[in-house]
Each structure stands twice: as structure tokens, then as C-alpha cells.
Amino acid sequence: MQHWEIIIFFLVIAFVYASVGFGGGSSYLAILTLYAFPFQEMKLTALICNIIVVTGGTIIYVKNKQVDWKKVLPLALVSVPMAFLGATLKLKENTFFILLGCSLITAAVLLWIKYRYAKEEEVIAHKNNYIKDGLLGGAIGLLSGMVGIGGGIFLSPVLNLMKWDTPKKIAATASLFILFNSISGIAGQLSTLPKGIDYTRIGFLCAAVFVGGQIGSRMGAVKFNQLVVRRVTAVVVFAAGVEVLIKHLPHG
């Protein structure tokens, strides 16, 4: 495998993201984009890595009863089929990269925003609109399937801005959302995968995120400053998004 340093990047990304309850799909795509990986292999790699990283955290959230299934289901029931649909769409390479660049820049903006987390009394007073939640889940699910991310990087900031629930409940929701969408996205991709995908390379990267994710999820004693983590991630993701658009937008 060329560019062995990518394994280190993936391990570090998985470590940081697992410590704050995310999968890291957007950052994996950002790194793979900078190294000009084949675009369909990029999508598959990011989704598999997502599943590996968030599965452990999701199990912990469920065991600790931090998942409000009545609120999660309207998001998931629409997002999962839409993620599958998005993954089955046969996008031209240039179209994919333009969509990816715009998605990365949007994700960077959402990550950069500083918001005040909802308090318990605000959550109790907030009435959820299941139709709105379903539409939100469906839109993010479709984009997730098309681009190859789990969608948590979009969902979590939006739910926090909406004061949808407490930070822990939103983190649990985002973790489940990433897991469901990533599985659905892979299922949708199976019908469109080309020959020649380097599964050995994917295997190395999966091993790296497994190690990083396991360490990150067990580092409960280390409290990362979430705003700092989000903003450092935002800079990397934004830079990758801009570079993708510069390369792939038509130049007059």
C-alpha cells in the first residue's frame, strides 16, 4: 500500500471522533480526497470505517438507556431508505466531487458554530415535530448515501441548534444515525461497485480505525474540549472541501 501515513491519519481521526461519539466519515473522505483515491472506493471505505468506529459507542449508549427510541425512530425510519436510495444513484465522478466539496464545506460551517447546549427543562418544554424530524432525517440520509458519510456531522449540530434534546441524548442519536445510514449506504452501493476495488487497502484502514476507535471510546478519563475538537476538524474538512471544488468545478 502506498502512502502508509494515511493509516496513521485514520487511526488518529478514529481516536478523536470515537472519544466524542462520532464515526469520522467526513474526515476520512477529506483525507482520501487529498490523496486522490478512486471515488467509489472512497465512499465504501468511509462507510465501513464509520460502522467500525461507532458500533462500540452505540452499544454503550443503548446499554446506558441514553437512546430515546420514540424520538430516534422518526429520524431513522426515513433516513435509512433514503441513504439506500442515495447510494444506488450512479453519479458521474465530477458530480460526486462537487457534491462532496459542498457537503464538506457545509459540515465545516456547522462544526465551527458555537452553540449553547439545551438544559433538561428546555428539552421538556420543547415539543418535537415528528414530520419535521422525518424530513430532516430523510434529507441527511439521502445526502449521506450519495456522498458516503453517516450524516452525524450534519445531524448533531442541527439538533443542538434546535435544542432537540440534551447533549448526551443527541450524541446517542447521532451515533445510531451514523450506524444505520452507513449500513444502508453500503447495502445500496453493492449494486454499483466497480471491479478493481483494493480491498487489501480498505482492510488496513479498517484495522487502523478499529484500534483508534477502541482506544478513543475507552479514554473516558480524558476530557477533550469539544469546541476545540470540532473547530480543528472544521478547518481540515473545509480545506479539503475547497480543494475538491477548485479541482472539479468547471473553469470558464
Which residues, including other chains, have CB under 8 Å from residue 69's CB and lie 6 or more apart? none
Do the Cβ atoms of 224 and 17 come closer than 8 Å? no
What is the predicted pLDDT for the residue at 224?
63
What b/e readout covers 1-39, taking b as 16+ CB neighbours within 10 angstroms? Answer: eeeeebbebbbbbbbbbbbbbbbbbbbbbbbbbbeebeb
- Which pTM was predicted? 0.86
What is the predicted pLDDT for the residue at 113?
82
What is the predicted pLDDT for the residue at 125?
55
Q: What does each of the 252 residues of the chain score in pLDDT, given as a tens digit?
A: 567 889 999 998 888 877 776 788 888 988 888 887 888 888 899 999 999 988 877 888 888 888 889 889 889 999 999 999 999 988 888 898 899 899 889 988 988 887 776 666 666 556 778 888 899 999 999 999 998 888 888 898 888 888 888 888 888 898 899 999 999 999 998 877 778 788 899 999 999 999 988 887 776 445 666 677 778 878 888 888 898 898 888 765
What is the predicted pLDDT for the residue at 68?
86
Tell me how far apart the alpha carbons of residues 40 and 117 are, in angstroms, rounded to a whole number: 37
Tell me how far apart the alpha carbons of residues 15 and 231 are, in angstroms, rounded to a whole number: 16
If one counts every other C-beta atom within 10 angstroms of the C-beta of residue 97, the result is: 20
Do the Cβ atoms of 82 and 180 come closer than 8 Å? no
What is the predicted pLDDT for the residue at 18?
79
Q: How many domains does the chain have?
A: 1
What b/e readout covers 59-93, taking b as 16+ CB neighbours within 10 angstroms? Answer: eebeeeebbbeebbebbbbbbbbbbbbbbbeebee
- Nearest Cα neighbor of 197 from 9, 4, 45, 25 is 45
Tell me how far apart the alpha carbons of residues 101 and 213 are, in angstroms, rounded to a whole number: 26
Which domain covers residue 198, as residue numbers? 5-248
Which residues, including other chains, have CB under 8 Å from residue 204's CB and lie 6 or more apart? 1, 7
Angle 49-94-190 (CA atoms, 0-180°, nearest 5)?
Answer: 40
What is the predicted pLDDT for the residue at 1?
59
Angle of the 130-147 helix axis to the 167-189 helix axis, nearest 10: 50
Q: Is the dihedral of CA 101, 105, 108, 110 positive or negative?
A: negative
Cell of 13: 481521526
Tell me how far apart the alpha carbons of residues 231 and 248 are, in angstroms, rounded to a whole number: 26
DSSP for 180-219, written as a single string: HHHHHHHHHHTTTPPTT--HHHHHHHHHHHHHHHHHHHT-
What is the predicted pLDDT for the residue at 24?
83
